[in-house]
Amino acid sequence: MTSALSTEAPTAPPAPAGTAVLARLEAEAIHIIREVVAEFDRPAMLFSGGKDSVVMLHLAIKAFAPGPVPFPVVHIDTGHNFPEVLEFRDRTVERHGLRLVIGSVQQLIDAGALQERADGTRNPLQTVPLLNTIAEHRFDALFGGARRDEDRARAKERILSLRDEFGQWDPRNQRPELWNLYNGRHRPGQHVRAFPISNWTELDIWRYIALEDIALPSLYYAHEREVFHRDSMVRAVGPHSLPAEDEPVERLWVRYRTVGDMSCTGAVRSLATTNDLVLNEVASATVTERGATRADDRLSEAAMEDRKKDGYF
Amino acid sequence: MTQTPTPGTLLRLATAGSVDDGKSTLVGRLLHDAHAILSDQLAAVTRSSAERGFGAAPAGSDAGDDPDAGPALDLALLTDGLRDEREQGITIDVAYRYFATDRRSFVLADCPGHVQYTRNTVTGASTADAVVLLVDVRHGVVEQTRRHLAVATLLRVEHVIVAVNKIDAVDYREEAFRAAERDILQVARELRGPGRNGSPDGPEPIVVPVSALHGDNVVTTSARTPWYTPQAQGASAYSGQALLPILEQLPDADALARRAEPLRLPVQSVIRAHDGYRGYAGQIAAGTLRAGDRVRIQPGNQLTEVTALERTRLQAQHAADTSTAATSTAGTSGPEPEVAAAGESLTIRLAGDHDVARGSVLTDPQRPAVELDEVTLQVAWLHQRPAVAGSRVLFKHGTATIKALVTEVSDRLDLTTLRSGPADQLQLNDIGTVTLRLASVLPVDDYAVSKRTGAGLLIDPADGNTLAAAMIQLPDPQDADATAPDSDEDWLNS
């Protein structure tokens, strides 16, 4: 990640046309992050190493530069994460001197507190360790990198979203959210999820990554890897993602549009090895990122809504 | 390889309408025809549409009048995201949608129509540069139309567009459209009133005949409404154009206006770092700022100097782009990339040691904010708990939240007569005027002059719920002059 605020004249090459949109989104996100930190006692930021959370953390560093980021980052580790992503997470935390809090799905499964699902998907299992981590550390505000263009249920979420004592989201009873005045009042036991990049699209995220030269896990760029096909998705061969006998393995050039669990995230065929090439690919995509690559969102038409009501990200 | 589109500005839209006037269908149509729907979303909607009887023989009453075939898709399913919404065929909460054309990027807040969800319409309108209201041509102006026009007027949304929908259901007849248009313009005129300086507050609505179901005048001008032309009698500058091209052309008036206002920078937080570093972080609410400027720290009358602006690379780049563009059109002095303007989030440093904290506002010393401990507010009441004199509330304004007491509820807007009448209570969804006594002085502006520093929230101190959207109304300086000799203030001081 590059340095955040600078008092010197910009030395980078001029931004391409269209800085108006990104400048407005960046200013809005920084404003939201500063508001939440000012109004809450114990904020924290979800950080998975995925591109959206990487952009959100980059914005947080800018918001408080030259001071330190005034909150810890939280990762809910499913135990099925891509090793490249975990390595990237640790490197980022180290480089910026952040405090990392990990909630573990595997630990809960080992302790018998969580049951593995029949389909092996662990994304829905993250809700319990997430709520446990919030309670244990008494976090009262949790930043998330969710974007409203990702999913129909997310399209309905406020920037500051109140969760009850059980972490539940009640979409029928959300507070009105007016102008840029975010009402974070809450009662003991309740907490707030804050989504500073709500209004960014997948394309905005990639434009910003290219413009700011933000480092991402290598999975986001085209690479050759052993894969098999399942549920009309391309799946990596790995310790938590093994092909069945009737699923032949081949080597393909692929990249990931989203990075979740190895057990539910699919790759897309791609030769895009640089930010600019990815940008072109995203701009001409004909399938949404979740539709292309997330088995967990194919469970039903309201899969995300159901998970969110239970306290998911 | 396709070229990455390079969008121009970002326009924030809100849509509103009453139940069954086809708003979700219009939004779905906009997204679909602007190619913002990707194939997996379309496949999901096609599946659900078939389950709901679309795509068969002429389906539903809307399709019955269709000269061509029954529509294959229930486009409303693209936007109605919650399970209850799809099952009940209604929209419950604001859904945000994103699409871009070659000319502009859009954030669309799709607001529900039913009266019980008016608070969501207020939510959507508060951040909108433009609202698109839907009216069913067969019903014309109904109570929800008045309510939504009232909300748009009250919140001073820059552009109001009324899409007169279901024009296919009246065989594309001009008289039906003109009748609806006449009523809409009449209501809008009455709501805007005579204005403060003789000219009505806000622009006149742009009225467009559309069929969301069939796409007439949504993305392209329809051959089935040949009478909808630029030459039409008394036509607006946009007459004859389809909805999307109008949205692409609307001037970004708000951004330019905010730049010209006097400086307002509410301080969000103080940033401390190495070697006794102190910076003040915030987002400029109005005006412009550069290193060397004198600013006033409000509340209070201390003056200081801005010693440095610390900006992100992108904000500085954008400021340079904007000032270059402004210079080339205005033909004035050279570009000023060192100038930060309204909308920018930044950190600044100040000369000397001052008491500046969250809640402080840095202002233009020549044109400072007014410091008041009593304010008159126009409010949209958004909660079941009614507004009554004696209520204790919190007033959130900029980065300050202070205790306040409702001392008076003075009037309420009657949506049938469009007149304000005396009232001593405001109920959920009411629009009216209240007076607040504040626990300490706040630097404020009139909402009509400066949206960002004229807006506030009323919050229930017990449960934290948002009670109302509040717009500060300062006494009109002209009125004040006219009545000065026998004002209460003089009488009190005499």
Q: Which residue has the higher pLDDT, B236 or A188?
A: A188
The 10s digit of each residue's pLDDT in B360-377 is: 999 999 999 999 999 999
pLDDT at A309 over 60: yes
Domain with B401 in it: what CATH number? 2.40.30.10
Verify that B334 and B420 share a domain, yes or no: no
pLDDT at B307 over 70: yes
- For B375, the domain range is 370-481
- Portion of chain B with pLDDT greater than 90, in percent: 53
pLDDT for the residue numbered A102: 95
Is A171 an interface residue toward B (CB < 8 Å)?
yes
The residue from B251, B269, B288 where one domain ends is: B251
Contact A68 B273 (CB under 8 A): yes
Rounded-to-integer distance, Cα A13 and Cα A297, Å: 40
Domain assignment of residue A5, yes or no:
no
Read off the pLDDT band of A90 (50, 70, 90).
Answer: very high
Domain assignment of residue B282, yes or no:
yes
Contacts of A187 in chain B (CB under 8 A): 463-464
Verify that A99 and A220 share a domain, yes or no: no
Domain assignment of residue A226, yes or no:
yes
Q: Which residue has the higher pLDDT, B332 or B61?
A: B332
Nearest to A172 among B81, B92, B312 (CB): B92
What DSSP designation does B220 have? Answer: B
Verify that A199 and A268 share a domain, yes or no: no
Read off the pLDDT band of A174 (50, 70, 90).
Answer: confident
Verify that B382 and B426 share a domain, yes or no: yes
Test mutation, A37, A165, A178, chain B, max B CBs within 10 A: A178
Domain assignment of residue B138, yes or no:
yes
Helix (H) or strand (E) holding B280: strand B277-283
In terms of average pLDDT, the best of B34-38, B196-200, B463-467 is: B463-467
**What's the structural domain count of chain B?**
3
Verify that A179 and A288 share a domain, yes or no: no
The 10s digit of each residue's pLDDT in B54-113 is: 654 333 334 333 334 445 566 666 666 555 665 655 556 788 888 888 788 899 988 877
Q: Which residue has the higher pLDDT, B257 or A79?
A: A79
Residues 6+ apart with CB under 8 A from B214: B66, B68, B71, B168
Q: Report chain B's terminal Cα–Cα distance, integer Å.
A: 80
Contacts of B358 in chain A (CB under 8 A): 38
Q: Which residue has the higher pLDDT, B432 or A18?
A: B432
Residue indicated by tokens 């804050």: A194
Contacts of B345 in chain A (CB under 8 A): 26-28, 30-31, 34, 63
Verify that B401 and B344 share a domain, yes or no: no
The 10s digit of each residue's pLDDT in A141-163 is: 999 999 998 877 788 889 999 98
The residue from B363, B379, B409 where one domain ends is: B363
- Portion of chain A with pLDDT greater than 70, in percent: 86
Tokens of B396: 């959130």
The residue from B310, B330, B363 where one domain ends is: B363
Chain B residue with the nearest C-alpha to that of A305: B82
Cis-peptide into A66, omega within 30 deg: yes
Dihedral sign, Cα of residue B370, residue B376, residue B377, residue B383: positive
Domain assignment of residue A109, yes or no:
yes
Domain assignment of residue B328, yes or no:
yes
Q: Report chain A's terminal Cα–Cα distance, integer Å.
A: 25
Contact A180 B127 (CB under 8 A): yes
Verify that A275 and A184 share a domain, yes or no: no
pLDDT for the residue numbered A106: 83
Contacts of B281 in chain A (CB under 8 A): 34, 63-64
Contact B38 A285 (CB under 8 A): yes
Domain with B18 in it: what CATH number? 3.40.50.300
Domain assignment of residue A124, yes or no:
yes
Domain assignment of residue A104, yes or no:
yes
Contacts of A205 in chain B (CB under 8 A): none
Contact A175 B321 (CB under 8 A): no
Verify that B172 and B83 share a domain, yes or no: yes
Contact A176 B382 (CB under 8 A): yes
Verify that A153 and A265 share a domain, yes or no: no
Q: Which residue has the higher pLDDT, A112 or A4?
A: A112
Do residues B59 and B71 lie in contact, with contact meaning Cβ atoms separated by under 8 Å? yes
Those of residues 179-218 in A touching chain B at CB distance below 8 A are 179-181, 183, 185-187, 198-199, 201, 203, 207, 211-212
Domain assignment of residue B486, yes or no:
no
Verify that B312 and B374 share a domain, yes or no: no
- For A143, the domain range is 19-203+303-309
Contact A291 B313 (CB under 8 A): no
Verify that A195 and A276 share a domain, yes or no: no
Region B317-346: mean pLDDT is 72
Verify that B191 and B330 share a domain, yes or no: no
Verify that A198 and A248 share a domain, yes or no: no
- Residue-wise over B354-391: b if at least 16 C-beta within 10 A, else e? eebebbbbbbbbeebbeebeebbbbbbbbbeeebeeeb
Verify that B413 and B436 share a domain, yes or no: yes
Chain B residue with the nearest C-alpha to that of A19: B318
**What's the structural domain count of chain A?**
2
Cis-peptide into B226, omega within 30 deg: no
Nearest to A152 among B81, B271, B347 (CB): B81
Contacts of B157 in chain A (CB under 8 A): none
pLDDT at B484 over 50: no
Nearest to B269 among A38, A288, A301 (CB): A38
Mean pLDDT of all residues in chain B?
A: 82
pLDDT at A172 over 70: yes
pLDDT for the residue numbered B67: 39
Do residues B101 and B244 lie in contact, with contact meaning Cβ atoms separated by under 8 Å? yes
Domain assignment of residue B449, yes or no:
yes
In terms of average pLDDT, the best of A52-61, A287-296, B9-18, B152-161 is: A52-61
Verify that A250 and A195 share a domain, yes or no: no
Verify that A137 and A224 share a domain, yes or no: no
pLDDT at A139 over 60: yes
pLDDT for the residue numbered B491: 32
The 10s digit of each residue's pLDDT in A96-115 is: 999 999 998 888 888 888 88
Verify that B95 and B183 share a domain, yes or no: yes
The 10s digit of each residue's pLDDT in B344-357 is: 999 999 999 899 99
3-state helix, strand, coil in chain A (%, to 5): 35, 20, 45
pLDDT at B331 over 70: no
Region A118-147: mean pLDDT is 88
Domain assignment of residue B490, yes or no:
no
Rounded-to-integer distance, Cα B136 and Cα B130, Å: 20
Is A31 an interface residue toward B (CB < 8 Å)?
yes
Contacts of B465 in chain A (CB under 8 A): 175, 185
Is residue A126 helix, strand or coil? helix
Verify that A187 and A231 share a domain, yes or no: no
Domain assignment of residue A142, yes or no:
yes
What DSSP designation does A84 have? Answer: H
Domain assignment of residue B337, yes or no:
yes
Read off the pLDDT band of B412 (50, 70, 90).
Answer: very high
Domain assignment of residue B172, yes or no:
yes
Q: Which residue has the higher pLDDT, B328 or B281?
A: B281
Verify that A196 and A232 share a domain, yes or no: no
Contact A26 B314 (CB under 8 A): yes
Verify that B380 and B474 share a domain, yes or no: yes
pLDDT at B284 over 80: yes
Verify that B92 and B173 share a domain, yes or no: yes
Verify that B289 and B389 share a domain, yes or no: no
Residues 6+ apart with CB under 8 A from B299: B360, B361, B371, B440, B441, B442, B443
Ramachandran category for residue B294: left, alpha or beta (phi over 0 → left; psi -120 to 50 → alpha): beta
pLDDT at B324 over 90: no
Verify that B214 and B348 share a domain, yes or no: no
Verify that A100 and A125 share a domain, yes or no: yes
For the ranges A25-39, B142-156, B199-213, B353-367, the lowest mean pLDDT is seen at B199-213
Domain with A143 in it: what CATH number? 3.40.50.620
The 10s digit of each residue's pLDDT in B12-37 is: 999 988 777 788 788 888 887 776 66
Domain assignment of residue A2, yes or no:
no
Domain assignment of residue A210, yes or no:
no
Q: Which residue has the higher pLDDT, B328 or B403?
A: B403
